[in-house]
Every structure is written in C-alpha cells, then in structure tokens.
Amino acid sequence: MKTISPIAWIRKAALVLALALLGSTPAWAGKYASIVIDLDTHQVMHARDADEERHPASLTKVMTLYLVFDALDAGKLKLSDRLPVSKTASRAQPSKLGLKAGTTIKVEDAIRALVTKSANDVAIVIAEKLGNGSETKFASKMNAKAIELGMTSTNFRNASGLPDKKQITTARDMAKLAEAVYADHRDRYNYFSLSSFTWGKRKYANHNELLRKVQGVDGIKTGFTNASGYNLMASAERSGRRVIAVMMGGTTGRSRDQHVSDLLEAAFLEITGGPTDDDLRARIAFGERAPFSSADNLAMAQLRKLQDDGAVLVSSNDPALVAELEESTDEGDEAFEEVAEGDSETADAADDPIGALIEASPAKTQLAAAPAPAAAPVAATRRAATPIASVQTTLTPQEAILITSEVATGSIPSARSLDQLALPISAQ
C-alpha cells in the first residue's frame, strides 16, 4: 500500500476532501434547527424545526452556569471558593483545561473557562461540587431547573454536553434557557461577553466568533459534537432592543456563524422596518438549513486524527474508528472546514416574518431554479470566495479512501483525473 507522510498529505489535500464511507450516512444529516426571538416582546420571529429533538453539545454548559449563578446568589458558593479536581474530572475528553487530579480551581476561573474554552473538565468539577460529589445528581438538578423554566423537551445527562444519546433538547428550549439566563442573572451576564481567558501560560479565545464580528452581540455560547453538528446560541442588542437566535446542526463553525449573523440582521431589520436586500435573503435561504451534509466533514475529522497523532487510516467500516470520530467534541480546530449549503421546507409566513422576507426574494427564486452542476452535488452553492471545488464520488475499495482535487471552482474534472487522485494511504 502506498504511504505518504501526514504533513505532505495535508499540504496536498489543502481544503478539499471527500470521503466515500461505505454503508454510512452523513453524521449531520437532518440536524438543522433554528429559532429567533424578540426578547422585548417575546415574539417568535422565526422558527425552523425548532421543536425537533437535537443534541445540545456544549450549549449544555449554559444550564451548568445558570446553576452556578443560582448558587452564588444563594450564598452556597463564592467567586473566591476553590473547587477540588477529581480523577474523573481530570480524565474528561477535550475540550478541556487539562486540570490535574488533586488540584483546585477558583469558582470565577471555572466560570471563565466554561464560557470561553468550554472546558469539559471544569464542567465536571462544578457538577461534582454542586451535586454533592456526583455529576449524576447534578444532572437531576439541571433537569429540575429545565422543567421550572418550561424546557419540556430537554433531558440533561451530564454537565458538559459530552456525547450521550439521551441528552436531548430543542432549539426552542435552548432559546428559553438563553432568555432565562439574561432575565434571572443579568448582573452576571457579562461573563458571556469575555473575549478570552488566561490560564497558566496559555490564553484561550472565546469560541463565539460573533462577539468580535457582529454589531451588538454580547453572548452567549457555541457547541459541537459529531452527533449535534455546530450549534450556536447568540444574543444581541441594538438601540435598546434585544434578539436571541439559536441554531443547531450546522455543518461547519464558519457557515453556522454566518447563518446566525444573517438571522440576527434580518430580525433587527424586521424590528426597525428597514429594507432587506436580496443578498441577505438568499444567504438565509441557502445557508445552514440543508437536509443533507457532505461526507467531507468525516474526512476532515480523519485528517485531524492523522495530523494530531499519526494514526493509520483503516477500513471505513472499522467500528473503532467510526466510534472515535463520532465522539469528537473539538470546537476550535476549523482549519479544514468546507461549507455545505442548502434549503429546507418553508414555514408558514404568518408565523415566520423572517421566512416571509426570504420567500419574497427574487434571488431565492432564481437560485432555486438554477440546476446544480452534476459533478458537484454537495458544493453546488459554494461561496464565491472559495477557490477550490469539492467533488464527491462513489468508490468500492474496502479501505478508507481520501480524494483530493485541486480544481478551479466551476470546472469538472475528468474521470481519469479522479482515478489518479484516489490514493489509499496510511501514516508513516
């Protein structure tokens, strides 16, 4: 079998990857959901699949922080208190601070670490403190609070959002949680605005890129697991009006951020009665609402695995490999992202004024009528700035096959060139 070094392969692959995974389904297919709420009027301005079950991922930590704020208000915790780190917490999966068993961390540092780094070890430390030594008991408190807040479709199983098939929620329930945090703990809400957190010699930037890019955004949380896709709960205020937007099931962090930004812009335009241009309508219509997802995502996860630890790529049906990829909770490494775009079923315009703006768009009609290039079904609506087109094909070998195609956007590579690019590989 031909081998190439991870560095050489990464250089060759660049941003374009497609993986034919035999007998499998894209991990994020059908996971999109979103909701936008005017916090001042409590009007639901937009909702798509907002009541469908989804996995919260690290949005879970917003409830963990809510209970921390409750404990601070009740005098059960102080910001200066030091929390002990157990062996269980020290062994948490990333993303984490890397806390050592037997050490401690201050409550305020723990809050900052959850908001910015989304540290899973810190979430467990907090859960064990407030759950009398048990994360399971803390999860029961989380569920009791969820019921109190009207989150009737949510079930928490842990404090971090690490993968658990029974940890479910909806976009609507997450919006209720975002509202509650702002209403009940407004004096501590500024924690969600932190741009970074320094621990030891390392400085961690907040995963919520909208804090730095979108006018008025001052919180609240990102989340990602392979089961959930890329999630984002965002809140923004302009001219005294506050809007909350929740999106779940994105295919990349970058496209998720753009979509939520567009939802917020459309919401404020609706509130102020300003005109909405066709570009904005089209971006929302063809943003992160696809009922499908490119297999590129799993290929990128394999690439990260190859890059990080030099692991050999084995059979695509190997359950150990698939299980490890599906347990991924990396929120920060987006160097090899691709954007998959599409449209979902339309909602009733009377209940969805943002959707009504979209449906009235001539740009959407034109885009919807345009046939997708046959050679690039997944990347048909690729951003204009993307210099390389991704091509998906079906392969028969029983080993994982990675395909690279450095082809100009809009061109169609020949079958011969695809054959030359199909390279079974393993790390040296």
Determine the pLDDT at residue 307: 52
34, 118, 235, 293: the catalytic one is 118
In this prediction, residue 274 carries a pLDDT of 78
pLDDT given at position 287: 57
**Catalytic residue from among 31, 61, 129, 221:** 61
Distances (CA, A) of 225 to 54, 95, 300: 11, 11, 14
Predicted pLDDT of residue 275? 73
In the set 58, 90, 228, 293, the catalytic residue is 58
Amino acid letter, 320 = A
Q: Would you state the pLDDT for residue 125?
A: 98
Residue where the block lists tokens 């084995």: 314
pLDDT confidence of residue 273:
86
Q: What is the pTM of this model?
A: 0.66
| Residue 61 annotated to the active site | yes
pLDDT attached to residue 352: 54
Q: In Å, what is the CA distance from 53 to each residue of 33, 47, 176, 249, 323? A: 9, 14, 15, 11, 22
Q: Which domains does the chain have, with CATH numbers?
A: 58-168 (3.40.710.10)
Q: What is the mean pLDDT of each run of 10 residues along the chain (428 residues)?
A: 46 35 38 94 92 97 98 98 98 95 98 97 98 98 98 98 97 98 97 95 94 95 95 96 96 91 92 77 58 38 49 47 50 33 33 52 42 37 32 34 33 42 35
Confidence at residue 426, expressed as pLDDT on a 0 to 100 scale:
34
